[in-house]
Amino acid sequence: MTEKKNRILEKIAREHGTPVFIIDHEKIRQNYREFKEKLPDVQAYFAVKANSNPEIVKTMYDLGASFDVASLPEFMLVHDNIKHLSEKERQDFIWEKIIYANTIKPAEVLANLNEYKILVTFDNVEELRKIKKHAPDVGLVLRIRVPNTGSMVELSSKFGVHPGEAVDLIAEALDLGLGIEGISFHVGSQCNNFDNYSQALNFAYSIFKEAELRNYQIGFIDKDGKRKKILDIGGGFPVKYTPDVKSFSSLSEILNSEIKRLFPNGDIQVVAEPGRFMVATACTLVTKIIGKAVRDGKTCYYLDDGVYHTFSGQVFDHQHYPLHSIKRGEKKVCATFGPTCDAFDTISLADELPEDLQIDDLLYAENIGAYTIASTTYFNGFPPPKVVHLNK
């Protein structure tokens, strides 16, 4: 299998040059199917920020996915796929299958969003007042602060109202004449501590219960005329970058059990925002050695991609992407650097690679689809990698 894969990577590199970022759409489809199979009662909103490549968005749309967007350009990227629908179909899709899950929105963005009558999240009273003024027709989902312990990227320091203040904020929204559709939370990206989810679900249950005791009407009327509340459990679903990462299967068992226990009446519509889970394992980067030196007794390879480009995930996502050589050879600890004129552009000081590789030899990194090319830059004049699609 490795030999076959290497031949494919070499062929693509010959045809397109390097660096080249390869997206396997069949793997995206497999990941989506796995998510739906393991969490059948959860509506999957693909978090576009993980990888906003338009072809990925199109594949997710064709699969029937919903979408989590966090900016107006991301919303318009999704909207491009529904332009052909009738006005009513378009509006139904936006309401039922898109959530604007950034709690802070500029006034001009809110004014633009208002015409689409979209779901948006909020977590403070200033945002409520802004929404009342600029976007009174949107639907509101309250984001609460929950534990992020053990997650690779924590989010609770920036987003979410304290659970103890949540119902008072709901009251503020209702007093302003705004409707609350439900509650959302996020346990942190690449969560390896599943207790975060259990605690967050219990917080949400308590808030719904207190709002009910205070006679606050939360939710929307579904097609069957029943009132339903949205429970958005966010993202954080782990990808097995390394063997010590807990399995999605064990998390899905916990989630299914806890949701059934806490919300047995069927009056909750559960949604989630998987981003990394859908795209991380679907992408491979092929890069070329453009320079070689020995420094302090260690072989150093200089590559045509680095941390200002696809390896930006090492900085912003706290994730490491081990490099592999297409050529075989006895492996030694080597250093790998990016192409820019900055010592910060260090990919690794401890990649295990053959030390007899030469300039123009190819290396590749797998599982590099999430929060990588999405945050690439043009620093030092070096452009992002070329993108090649497989199995579209």
- Please name the residue ranges forming H helices in the chain: 2-16, 25-38, 54-63, 72-79, 87-97, 107-114, 125-134, 163-175, 195-213, 248-262, 276-279, 313-316
Contacts 24+ apart (CB under 8 A), 314-319: 314/347, 316/371, 316/375, 317/152, 317/153, 317/189, 317/190, 317/370, 317/371, 317/372, 317/375, 318/152, 318/153, 319/152, 319/190, 319/241, 319/371
341 in active site: yes
Instruction: Give the integer Cα–Cα distance in Å for 252 and 38.
Output: 6
Sign of CA dihedral 264, 265, 266, 272: negative
Instruction: Give the integer Cα–Cα distance in Å for 168 and 88.
Output: 35
For 120, 135, 179, 183, the CA distances from 90, given in Å and listed in that order, are: 17, 19, 22, 24
- 3-class DSSP state of 121: strand
Contacts 24+ apart (CB under 8 A), 107-113: 107/133, 107/134, 108/134, 109/71, 109/72, 110/134, 110/135, 110/138, 111/135, 112/72, 113/72, 113/75, 113/138
With beta carbons less than 8 A apart as the criterion, state whether 283 and 315 touch.
no
Q: Which residues are marked as active site?
A: 341
